[in-house]
Structure 1
Amino acid sequence: MPVKSVERLGIPDVVLVRLEVFPDNRGFFAELFKGSDFASSGLPAGFAQVNLSYSRRGVVRGLHYQVEPMEQGKLVYVVKGRVYDVAVDIRIGSPWLGRHVGVVLEPGLALWVPPGFAHGFQALEDTLLLYLVTKEYSPRHERCIKWDDPELAIDWPIREGVILSEKDKKCPGFREAEKFGFPGKS
Protein backbone atom coordinates (compact mmCIF):
# COMPACT_ATOMS: atom_id res chain seq x y z
CA MET A 1 0.00 0.00 0.00
CA PRO A 2 1.67 3.28 -1.06
CA VAL A 3 -0.39 5.56 1.21
CA LYS A 4 0.77 5.38 4.82
CA SER A 5 -1.43 8.28 5.98
CA VAL A 6 -3.24 11.39 4.77
CA GLU A 7 -3.45 14.69 6.63
CA ARG A 8 -5.84 17.47 5.72
CA LEU A 9 -4.06 20.79 6.11
CA GLY A 10 -5.28 24.26 7.18
CA ILE A 11 -7.43 24.33 4.04
CA PRO A 12 -9.01 20.86 4.25
CA ASP A 13 -9.13 20.25 0.49
CA VAL A 14 -5.32 20.29 0.37
CA VAL A 15 -3.93 16.98 1.59
CA LEU A 16 -0.44 15.92 2.70
CA VAL A 17 0.19 12.27 1.81
CA ARG A 18 2.78 10.20 3.64
CA LEU A 19 3.96 7.33 1.48
CA GLU A 20 5.02 3.92 2.66
CA VAL A 21 8.79 3.75 2.10
CA PHE A 22 10.68 0.47 2.36
CA PRO A 23 14.37 1.10 3.11
CA ASP A 24 17.04 -1.58 3.12
CA ASN A 25 20.82 -1.84 2.68
CA ARG A 26 20.48 -1.01 -1.05
CA GLY A 27 18.48 2.20 -0.57
CA PHE A 28 14.68 2.25 -0.56
CA PHE A 29 11.58 1.37 -2.57
CA ALA A 30 8.26 3.24 -2.63
CA GLU A 31 5.11 2.96 -4.72
CA LEU A 32 4.27 6.52 -5.71
CA PHE A 33 0.81 5.81 -6.99
CA LYS A 34 -1.68 2.95 -6.82
CA GLY A 35 -5.15 3.95 -7.99
CA SER A 36 -7.09 1.72 -5.60
CA ASP A 37 -5.17 2.94 -2.53
CA PHE A 38 -5.56 6.57 -3.50
CA ALA A 39 -9.28 6.16 -4.20
CA SER A 40 -9.85 4.43 -0.83
CA SER A 41 -8.06 7.37 0.86
CA GLY A 42 -10.40 9.85 -0.85
CA LEU A 43 -7.72 11.02 -3.27
CA PRO A 44 -7.97 11.19 -7.07
CA ALA A 45 -7.12 8.09 -9.04
CA GLY A 46 -7.27 9.44 -12.60
CA PHE A 47 -4.41 11.46 -14.03
CA ALA A 48 -3.89 12.71 -17.59
CA GLN A 49 -0.25 13.83 -17.56
CA VAL A 50 2.97 13.37 -15.56
CA ASN A 51 5.50 16.21 -15.31
CA LEU A 52 9.09 16.31 -14.07
CA SER A 53 11.02 19.46 -13.22
CA TYR A 54 14.52 20.13 -12.00
CA SER A 55 15.05 23.31 -10.00
CA ARG A 56 18.18 24.78 -8.51
CA ARG A 57 18.17 26.08 -4.94
CA GLY A 58 16.22 29.35 -4.74
CA VAL A 59 14.06 28.77 -7.82
CA VAL A 60 10.39 29.68 -7.42
CA ARG A 61 7.95 28.14 -9.88
CA GLY A 62 4.46 29.55 -9.61
CA LEU A 63 1.95 30.40 -8.54
CA HIS A 64 0.40 28.52 -11.50
CA TYR A 65 -3.04 27.14 -12.36
CA GLN A 66 -5.33 26.48 -15.30
CA VAL A 67 -8.88 27.81 -15.67
CA GLU A 68 -11.97 25.86 -16.67
CA PRO A 69 -12.51 23.69 -18.59
CA MET A 70 -8.84 22.64 -18.26
CA GLU A 71 -8.50 23.14 -14.49
CA GLN A 72 -5.93 20.80 -12.99
CA GLY A 73 -5.56 18.98 -9.74
CA LYS A 74 -1.92 18.17 -8.96
CA LEU A 75 -0.32 15.40 -6.94
CA VAL A 76 3.19 16.69 -6.20
CA TYR A 77 6.18 14.50 -5.22
CA VAL A 78 9.79 15.38 -4.50
CA VAL A 79 12.02 12.71 -6.01
CA LYS A 80 15.25 14.25 -4.72
CA GLY A 81 15.83 17.40 -2.67
CA ARG A 82 13.36 19.56 -0.73
CA VAL A 83 10.85 22.26 -1.63
CA TYR A 84 8.56 24.64 0.18
CA ASP A 85 5.26 23.84 -1.57
CA VAL A 86 2.32 26.26 -1.53
CA ALA A 87 -1.36 26.04 -2.49
CA VAL A 88 -3.47 29.24 -2.64
CA ASP A 89 -7.27 28.99 -2.62
CA ILE A 90 -8.64 31.00 -5.57
CA ARG A 91 -12.25 29.76 -5.38
CA ILE A 92 -14.78 32.61 -5.18
CA GLY A 93 -17.18 31.85 -2.33
CA SER A 94 -14.72 29.58 -0.51
CA PRO A 95 -14.27 30.34 3.18
CA TRP A 96 -10.51 30.11 2.51
CA LEU A 97 -10.39 32.41 -0.56
CA GLY A 98 -6.99 34.12 -0.66
CA ARG A 99 -5.53 31.92 2.08
CA HIS A 100 -2.70 29.52 1.50
CA VAL A 101 -1.09 26.47 3.03
CA GLY A 102 2.60 25.73 2.75
CA VAL A 103 4.56 22.62 3.63
CA VAL A 104 8.11 21.37 3.17
CA LEU A 105 8.09 18.36 0.85
CA GLU A 106 10.88 15.81 0.65
CA PRO A 107 11.01 12.21 -0.58
CA GLY A 108 8.30 10.12 1.07
CA LEU A 109 5.76 12.98 1.12
CA ALA A 110 3.30 14.14 -1.52
CA LEU A 111 0.83 17.00 -1.68
CA TRP A 112 -2.61 16.88 -3.30
CA VAL A 113 -3.55 20.32 -4.66
CA PRO A 114 -7.12 20.22 -6.03
CA PRO A 115 -8.50 22.28 -8.92
CA GLY A 116 -9.31 25.82 -7.85
CA PHE A 117 -5.92 26.41 -6.26
CA ALA A 118 -2.85 28.22 -7.53
CA HIS A 119 0.26 26.12 -6.90
CA GLY A 120 3.90 27.02 -6.54
CA PHE A 121 7.07 25.89 -4.87
CA GLN A 122 10.52 27.11 -3.92
CA ALA A 123 13.48 24.75 -4.17
CA LEU A 124 15.27 24.69 -0.80
CA GLU A 125 18.08 22.71 -2.44
CA ASP A 126 18.63 21.36 -5.95
CA THR A 127 15.45 19.36 -6.48
CA LEU A 128 13.73 16.93 -8.82
CA LEU A 129 9.97 17.27 -8.58
CA LEU A 130 7.40 14.95 -10.15
CA TYR A 131 3.75 15.81 -10.40
CA LEU A 132 0.71 14.05 -11.76
CA VAL A 133 -2.07 16.28 -13.11
CA THR A 134 -5.74 15.51 -13.70
CA LYS A 135 -5.95 17.34 -17.06
CA GLU A 136 -3.42 17.99 -19.78
CA TYR A 137 -1.46 21.21 -19.99
CA SER A 138 -3.23 23.87 -22.06
CA PRO A 139 -1.27 27.09 -22.71
CA ARG A 140 -4.54 28.89 -23.54
CA HIS A 141 -5.96 28.13 -20.07
CA GLU A 142 -2.77 28.73 -18.08
CA ARG A 143 -2.79 31.54 -15.51
CA CYS A 144 -0.50 32.71 -12.71
CA ILE A 145 -0.37 34.91 -9.63
CA LYS A 146 2.64 36.92 -8.48
CA TRP A 147 4.64 34.69 -6.14
CA ASP A 148 5.39 37.43 -3.60
CA ASP A 149 2.09 39.35 -3.66
CA PRO A 150 1.94 41.07 -0.25
CA GLU A 151 -1.80 40.36 -0.02
CA LEU A 152 -1.06 36.62 0.12
CA ALA A 153 1.73 37.08 2.71
CA ILE A 154 3.46 33.80 1.83
CA ASP A 155 6.52 33.35 4.03
CA TRP A 156 8.94 31.96 1.44
CA PRO A 157 12.01 30.52 3.20
CA ILE A 158 14.52 32.04 0.74
CA ARG A 159 14.01 35.78 0.10
CA GLU A 160 17.36 36.81 -1.43
CA GLY A 161 18.61 35.61 -4.80
CA VAL A 162 15.27 34.10 -5.86
CA ILE A 163 15.34 32.75 -9.42
CA LEU A 164 12.19 33.27 -11.55
CA SER A 165 11.25 32.64 -15.17
CA GLU A 166 10.52 35.69 -17.31
CA LYS A 167 6.88 34.57 -17.45
CA ASP A 168 6.59 34.35 -13.65
CA LYS A 169 8.03 37.86 -13.27
CA LYS A 170 4.97 39.20 -15.15
CA CYS A 171 2.18 37.48 -13.17
CA PRO A 172 -0.63 39.69 -11.86
CA GLY A 173 -1.37 40.08 -8.18
CA PHE A 174 -4.03 38.04 -6.40
CA ARG A 175 -6.68 40.78 -6.72
CA GLU A 176 -6.32 40.95 -10.51
CA ALA A 177 -5.99 37.19 -11.10
CA GLU A 178 -8.78 35.13 -12.62
CA LYS A 179 -10.63 33.04 -10.02
CA PHE A 180 -12.90 29.95 -9.87
CA GLY A 181 -16.41 29.34 -8.56
CA PHE A 182 -16.65 27.38 -5.31
CA PRO A 183 -18.76 24.18 -5.44
CA GLY A 184 -22.24 24.88 -4.12
CA LYS A 185 -21.90 28.65 -4.62
CA SER A 186 -23.04 30.63 -7.62
Structure 2
Amino acid sequence: MKATETNLKGCFIIEPKIFEDERGYFFESYNHKNFCEAIGREVSFVQDNQSFSKKGVLRGLHFQKGEYAQAKLVSVLRGKIQDVVVDLRKESPTFGKHLSIVLSDEDKKQVFIPRGFAHGFLTLSESAQVFYKCDNFYKKEAENSIFYNDPILGIEWKIEMAQLKLSKKDTEAYGFNLLKQNM
Protein backbone atom coordinates (compact mmCIF):
# COMPACT_ATOMS: atom_id res chain seq x y z
CA MET A 1 0.00 0.00 0.00
CA LYS A 2 1.16 3.52 -0.80
CA ALA A 3 -0.16 6.50 1.20
CA THR A 4 0.38 10.02 -0.16
CA GLU A 5 -0.55 12.99 1.99
CA THR A 6 -2.49 15.63 0.06
CA ASN A 7 -2.26 19.42 0.36
CA LEU A 8 -4.76 19.07 3.25
CA LYS A 9 -2.78 17.91 6.29
CA GLY A 10 -3.88 14.49 7.51
CA CYS A 11 -5.83 13.68 4.33
CA PHE A 12 -4.26 10.84 2.32
CA ILE A 13 -4.68 9.14 -1.04
CA ILE A 14 -4.28 5.39 -0.50
CA GLU A 15 -3.15 3.20 -3.41
CA PRO A 16 -3.29 -0.55 -2.84
CA LYS A 17 -0.79 -3.00 -4.29
CA ILE A 18 -2.79 -4.93 -6.91
CA PHE A 19 -1.83 -8.41 -8.08
CA GLU A 20 -3.22 -9.12 -11.55
CA ASP A 21 -3.01 -12.03 -13.93
CA GLU A 22 -5.17 -13.65 -16.61
CA ARG A 23 -7.66 -14.82 -13.95
CA GLY A 24 -8.35 -11.34 -12.56
CA TYR A 25 -6.90 -9.46 -9.62
CA PHE A 26 -6.40 -9.52 -5.86
CA PHE A 27 -5.60 -6.73 -3.44
CA GLU A 28 -5.83 -6.09 0.27
CA SER A 29 -8.44 -3.32 0.58
CA TYR A 30 -7.75 -2.73 4.26
CA ASN A 31 -5.15 -3.90 6.75
CA HIS A 32 -5.32 -2.07 10.07
CA LYS A 33 -1.63 -2.34 10.93
CA ASN A 34 -0.38 -1.31 7.47
CA PHE A 35 -2.94 1.48 7.17
CA CYS A 36 -2.07 3.08 10.54
CA GLU A 37 1.66 2.84 9.80
CA ALA A 38 1.14 4.43 6.37
CA ILE A 39 -0.77 7.47 7.68
CA GLY A 40 1.30 7.75 10.87
CA ARG A 41 -1.53 7.52 13.38
CA GLU A 42 -3.92 5.07 14.98
CA VAL A 43 -7.46 4.99 13.58
CA SER A 44 -10.06 2.45 14.67
CA PHE A 45 -13.04 2.15 12.35
CA VAL A 46 -16.37 1.20 13.95
CA GLN A 47 -18.91 1.47 11.12
CA ASP A 48 -18.99 0.54 7.42
CA ASN A 49 -21.39 2.26 5.00
CA GLN A 50 -22.35 1.63 1.37
CA SER A 51 -24.33 3.75 -1.04
CA PHE A 52 -25.57 3.22 -4.57
CA SER A 53 -26.09 6.29 -6.74
CA LYS A 54 -27.10 6.95 -10.32
CA LYS A 55 -25.22 9.29 -12.67
CA GLY A 56 -25.43 12.92 -11.61
CA VAL A 57 -26.28 12.21 -7.97
CA LEU A 58 -24.37 14.55 -5.68
CA ARG A 59 -24.27 13.61 -1.99
CA GLY A 60 -22.79 16.22 0.30
CA LEU A 61 -21.05 18.12 1.60
CA HIS A 62 -21.76 16.34 4.92
CA PHE A 63 -20.04 16.22 8.30
CA GLN A 64 -20.73 15.54 11.96
CA LYS A 65 -19.91 18.14 14.61
CA GLY A 66 -17.94 18.01 17.83
CA GLU A 67 -17.43 14.72 19.62
CA TYR A 68 -19.38 12.97 16.86
CA ALA A 69 -16.98 13.99 14.06
CA GLN A 70 -15.97 11.09 11.82
CA ALA A 71 -12.80 10.12 10.01
CA LYS A 72 -13.58 8.16 6.82
CA LEU A 73 -11.81 5.82 4.44
CA VAL A 74 -13.67 6.06 1.11
CA SER A 75 -13.47 3.66 -1.83
CA VAL A 76 -15.50 2.85 -4.93
CA LEU A 77 -16.62 -0.75 -5.44
CA ARG A 78 -18.24 -0.07 -8.82
CA GLY A 79 -18.25 2.97 -11.08
CA LYS A 80 -16.55 6.35 -10.89
CA ILE A 81 -17.06 9.37 -8.63
CA GLN A 82 -15.66 12.81 -8.00
CA ASP A 83 -14.85 12.79 -4.30
CA VAL A 84 -14.55 16.14 -2.51
CA VAL A 85 -13.40 16.98 1.00
CA VAL A 86 -13.35 20.40 2.68
CA ASP A 87 -11.12 21.26 5.64
CA LEU A 88 -13.30 22.62 8.49
CA ARG A 89 -10.56 22.69 11.13
CA LYS A 90 -10.44 26.37 12.15
CA GLU A 91 -6.83 26.07 13.40
CA SER A 92 -5.67 24.52 10.11
CA PRO A 93 -3.70 26.58 7.58
CA THR A 94 -5.92 24.97 4.90
CA PHE A 95 -9.23 25.85 6.63
CA GLY A 96 -11.89 26.27 3.92
CA LYS A 97 -9.73 24.64 1.23
CA HIS A 98 -10.85 21.53 -0.60
CA LEU A 99 -9.50 18.47 -2.36
CA SER A 100 -11.23 17.00 -5.40
CA ILE A 101 -10.18 13.58 -6.68
CA VAL A 102 -11.69 11.00 -9.05
CA LEU A 103 -12.04 7.56 -7.47
CA SER A 104 -13.06 4.49 -9.44
CA ASP A 105 -13.27 0.73 -9.38
CA GLU A 106 -10.55 0.71 -12.05
CA ASP A 107 -7.65 2.23 -10.09
CA LYS A 108 -8.99 1.19 -6.66
CA LYS A 109 -7.58 4.31 -4.97
CA GLN A 110 -9.05 5.32 -1.63
CA VAL A 111 -9.11 8.60 0.24
CA PHE A 112 -8.62 8.88 4.00
CA ILE A 113 -10.44 11.88 5.46
CA PRO A 114 -9.55 12.80 9.04
CA ARG A 115 -12.06 14.21 11.53
CA GLY A 116 -12.86 17.86 10.96
CA PHE A 117 -13.67 17.64 7.24
CA ALA A 118 -16.86 17.84 5.21
CA HIS A 119 -17.24 15.14 2.56
CA GLY A 120 -19.27 14.71 -0.60
CA PHE A 121 -19.22 12.93 -3.91
CA LEU A 122 -20.71 13.15 -7.38
CA THR A 123 -21.45 10.05 -9.47
CA LEU A 124 -19.72 10.36 -12.86
CA SER A 125 -20.48 6.90 -14.29
CA GLU A 126 -23.96 5.51 -15.08
CA SER A 127 -24.04 4.33 -11.46
CA ALA A 128 -21.61 3.94 -8.59
CA GLN A 129 -21.37 1.89 -5.45
CA VAL A 130 -19.38 3.69 -2.75
CA PHE A 131 -18.04 2.03 0.40
CA TYR A 132 -16.62 3.87 3.37
CA LYS A 133 -15.39 3.10 6.85
CA CYS A 134 -16.05 5.54 9.74
CA ASP A 135 -14.22 5.84 13.03
CA ASN A 136 -17.28 7.12 14.91
CA PHE A 137 -20.95 6.17 14.89
CA TYR A 138 -23.55 8.18 13.00
CA LYS A 139 -25.49 10.64 15.18
CA LYS A 140 -28.35 12.43 13.39
CA GLU A 141 -28.36 15.37 15.82
CA ALA A 142 -24.69 16.08 15.05
CA GLU A 143 -25.04 15.97 11.27
CA ASN A 144 -24.64 19.11 9.20
CA SER A 145 -24.19 20.11 5.55
CA ILE A 146 -22.43 22.81 3.56
CA PHE A 147 -23.97 23.97 0.29
CA TYR A 148 -22.22 22.00 -2.46
CA ASN A 149 -21.93 25.00 -4.78
CA ASP A 150 -20.87 27.68 -2.30
CA PRO A 151 -18.82 30.24 -4.27
CA ILE A 152 -16.38 30.70 -1.37
CA LEU A 153 -15.31 27.05 -1.71
CA GLY A 154 -14.97 27.26 -5.50
CA ILE A 155 -15.48 23.55 -6.15
CA GLU A 156 -15.49 22.70 -9.85
CA TRP A 157 -17.95 19.84 -10.18
CA LYS A 158 -17.40 17.62 -13.22
CA ILE A 159 -21.04 17.63 -14.38
CA GLU A 160 -23.19 20.58 -15.44
CA MET A 161 -25.27 21.97 -12.56
CA ALA A 162 -28.53 21.38 -14.47
CA GLN A 163 -27.79 17.63 -14.57
CA LEU A 164 -27.25 17.22 -10.82
CA LYS A 165 -29.63 15.14 -8.72
CA LEU A 166 -29.76 16.39 -5.12
CA SER A 167 -31.63 15.55 -1.95
CA LYS A 168 -33.75 18.20 -0.28
CA LYS A 169 -31.25 18.25 2.60
CA ASP A 170 -28.39 19.08 0.21
CA THR A 171 -30.29 21.90 -1.52
CA GLU A 172 -31.03 23.48 1.89
CA ALA A 173 -27.48 23.18 3.30
CA TYR A 174 -25.68 26.09 4.98
CA GLY A 175 -23.45 28.48 3.12
CA PHE A 176 -19.82 28.35 4.23
CA ASN A 177 -19.80 31.84 5.85
CA LEU A 178 -22.90 31.08 7.93
CA LEU A 179 -21.45 27.76 8.95
CA LYS A 180 -18.15 29.40 10.02
CA GLN A 181 -20.07 31.70 12.37
CA ASN A 182 -21.85 28.77 14.03
CA MET A 183 -18.85 26.44 14.45
Deviations 1:1-31 (Å, cap 9, x if unpaired)? Answer: xx2x111112132110001122222322222
Q: Does 1:26 align with 2:31?
A: no
1:175 alignment partner, SS class = helix
Letter in 2 for 1:116: G
Give distance in 2, aligned partners of 1:177 and 1:104. 26
Q: How far off is 1:166 after superposition?
A: 1.1
Aligned length, in residue pairs: 178
Q: Which has the higher helix share?
A: 2
Q: 1:34 to 1:179 in 2, by over 3 A?
A: farther
Deviations 1:98-142 (Å, cap 9, x if unpaired)? Answer: 110111111310000111100001111111100000001110100
**Structure 2 unpaired stretches of 5+:** none
Q: How far off is 1:71 after superposition?
A: 0.5
Residue matched to 2:34: 37
Residue matched to 1:143: 144
Q: Which residue of the other structure, out of 66, 71, 83, is the alignment partner of 1:68?
A: 66
- What is the TM-score normalised by the length of structure 2? 0.92
Task: Indicate the percent of aligned positions where both proteins have the same amino acid.
Answer: 34
Residue matched to 2:98: 100
* Superposed counterparts of 1:1-186, under 5 Å: 3=1, 5-41=2-38, 42=40, 44-107=42-105, 108-125=108-125, 126-159=127-160, 160-177=162-179
Q: How far off is 1:44 after superposition?
A: 4.4
Letter in 2 for 1:21: I
Letter in 2 for 1:110: Q
Q: How far off is 1:177 after superposition?
A: 1.6
Give distance in 2, aligned partners of 1:178 and 1:132. 27
Give distance in 2, aligned partners of 1:168 and 1:44. 32
**Structure 1 unpaired stretches of 5+:** 182-186
Give distance in 2, aligned partners of 1:149 and 1:111. 23
Give distance in 2, aligned partners of 1:22 and 1:78. 18
Q: How far off is 1:43 after superposition?
A: 5.2
Q: How far off is 1:179 after superposition?
A: 7.8
8 Å contact kept, 1:92–1:180: no
2:177 alignment partner, SS class = coil
| Segment drifting more, 65-74 vs 43-52 | 43-52
Give distance in 2, aligned partners of 1:64 and 1:74. 12
Q: Moved runs in structure 1, 4+ residues, more than 3 A? A: 178-181
- What is the TM-score normalised by the length of structure 1? 0.90
Give distance in 1, aligned partners of 2:78 and 2:22. 19
2:14 alignment partner, SS class = strand
